[in-house]
Amino acid sequence: MNLPNALTLLRMAMVPVFIVLFYQDMPIAAAVVFILAAITDAADGKIARARNQITNFGKLMDPLADKVLTVSAFICLVDSGQVAAWMVIVILAREFAITGLRSVAASEGQVIAAGMSGKLKTVFQMVAIALLLLHNWPFSYLNLPIDQACLWIAIVLTIYSGVEYIVKGRHLLTMK
């Protein structure tokens, strides 16, 4: 197993650790685990491209690991009352729709590459989650709602990138 794939599996393994820490009311420890997992997301792709270690496993599991990590965190934040449930429903609907579209593309031997808006969406989701877990630290001292700003930007990018993927793959949506 190569390093990028090991980092992807590590990220998946960190999710239950994050959840346990979150529900044991250890927000800083949960945030640290979440942030470390998010860093593995950035690292695995860069390492895979730099070392020419892109694998089918990585193509499938890396985005899945990202979704499991972010959706788990968002569900915990809904449960704690920090995020509105409708926001997570929007995120989940987009993820299911795009995963379905990518599956159709794959069955046709096509790949719908991740666009910049999808990558930015992931970054803003992860930053928003980290800030929410840390109760907007350090911006809380300045009375700046950066956590909420990042959350709203993430929602807008979630919708925008979802529409962008559908436009890119619209040829796959026609009935045969």
Distance CA 33, CA 37 (A): 6
What does the alpha-carbon distance between residue 18 and residue 104 come to, in Å, rounded to a whole number?
Answer: 33
Give the distance, in angstroms, between the CA of residue 79 and the centroid of all CA atoms in the same chain: 18
Per-residue pLDDT tens for 67-78?
A: 999 999 999 999
* Interval 78-127: pLDDT, tens: 999 999 999 999 999 999 999 899 888 888 888 777 789 999 999 999 99
Residue 70: CA atoms inside 13 Å, Cβ hemisphere, count? 27
Rounded to two decimals, the pTM is: 0.93
What's the whole-number mean pLDDT along residues 154-170?
95
Q: Is the pLDDT of residue 174 over 70?
A: yes
What's residue 115's pLDDT?
87
- State yes or no: pLDDT of 156 exceeds 90: yes
Both tokens of 124, joined, read 């803003």
Q: Is the pLDDT at 143 greater than 90, yes or no?
A: yes
pLDDT band, very low/low/confident/very high, at 6 (cuts 50, 70, 90)? very high
* Amino acid 175: pLDDT: 60
Q: What pLDDT is recorded for position 28?
A: 95
Domains and CATH numbers, the chain: 3-173 (1.20.120.1760)
- Report pLDDT for 176: 60
Average pLDDT over residues 146-175: 93
